[in-house]
């Protein structure tokens, strides 16, 4: 009877090495798949969140109130409560995210540590404090929420009348013919203390860090913005 012959040490080492390589290849493949899947899921939820926030922002802008500051400030004239530049926009709306009634709302691009920008939403209820002087820099903002992150080349711009007299000079029939008269244009800043009117549209332009595609989101103000033109704001 021949004695049983086992594996040699070298054969066991070779087999163990091959098994380790197979297990490592499987684990590495799973890690790549899992990482790719997580990125896709995260991208999907980011897009879904942004779609929801766009609907909310539409309510904010269309709920804007043509709140007139009656007390004369350094300009010497009453004006609509609105101010905006490329970094931020401040207005009064009845369509805020958290509070009801008249609410101050600020949308602002803030710099992040990685060099990109984030779009931040803040609000402050204005019901208990009548607004006599437009001083948004003194507002104690509440409910700060990050709407979108990792943005490059982010800015606001504003479409509206170049001045009050231009808006009053345009007849209603002209408005029915065209929404792009010469008296309207896009602005990088829009100070209602100077124009006395709010803009008609606000545009948010940005580029995601992951891509070079430039996105433009245009939000009209008011449900019927042209109605503001016929308001009697001459004092």
Q: Are 147 and 117 in contact (CB under 8 A)?
A: no
Cα–Cα nearest to 106, from 70, 75, 137: 137
Reply yes or no on whether the pLDDT at 18 is more than 70.
yes
CA angle 218, 54, 157 (to 5 degrees): 30
Domain ranges of the chain: 45-230
As beta bridge partners, residue 106 has 90, 122
**Highest-confidence range of 21-30, 91-100, 135-144, by mean pLDDT?**
91-100
In the prediction, which pLDDT does 23 show? 80
Q: pLDDT per residue over 49-67, tens digit each?
A: 677 788 888 899 989 888 8
Q: Tell me the pLDDT tens digit for each residue of 181-226.
A: 667 889 999 887 777 778 889 999 988 776 677 788 899 887 544 4
pTM for the structure as a whole: 0.70
Distance between CA 90 and CA 192 in Å, rounded?
A: 11
Measuring CA to CA, which residue among 88, 104, 110, 221 is closest to residue 160?
221
In the numeric block, the tokens 């711009």 are attached to 157
Q: What was the pLDDT predicted at 60?
A: 92
């Amino acid at each position: 009877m021949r004695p049983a012959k086992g594996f040699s040490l070298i054969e066991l080492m070779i087999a163990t090495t091959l098994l380790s390589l197979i297990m490592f290849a499987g684990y590495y493949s799973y890690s790549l798949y899992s990482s790719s899947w997580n990125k896709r899921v995260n991208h999907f939820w980011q897009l879904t969140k942004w779609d929801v926030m766009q609907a909310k922002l539409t309510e904010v802008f269309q709920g804007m109130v043509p709140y007139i500051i009656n007390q004369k400030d350094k300009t010497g004239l009453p004006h609509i409560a609105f101010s905006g530049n490329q970094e931020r926009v401040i207005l009064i709306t009845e369509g805020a995210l958290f509070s009801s009634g008249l609410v101050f709302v600020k949308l602002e691009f803030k710099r992040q540590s990685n060099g990109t920008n984030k779009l931040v939403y803040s609000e402050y209820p204005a019901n208990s404090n009548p607004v006599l002087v437009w001083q948004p820099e003194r507002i104690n903002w509440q409910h700060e929420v990050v709407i979108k992150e990792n943005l490059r080349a982010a800015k606001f711009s504003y479409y509206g009348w170049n001045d009050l007299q231009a808006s009053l000079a345009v007849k209603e029939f002209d408005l029915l013919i065209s929404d792009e008269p010469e008296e309207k244009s896009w602005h990088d800043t829009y100070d209602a203390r100077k124009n006395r009117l709010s803009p008609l549209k606000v545009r948010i332009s940005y580029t995601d860090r992951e891509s070079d595609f430039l996105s433009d989101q245009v939000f009209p103000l008011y449900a019927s913005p042209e109605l503001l033109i016929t308001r009697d704001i001459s004092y």
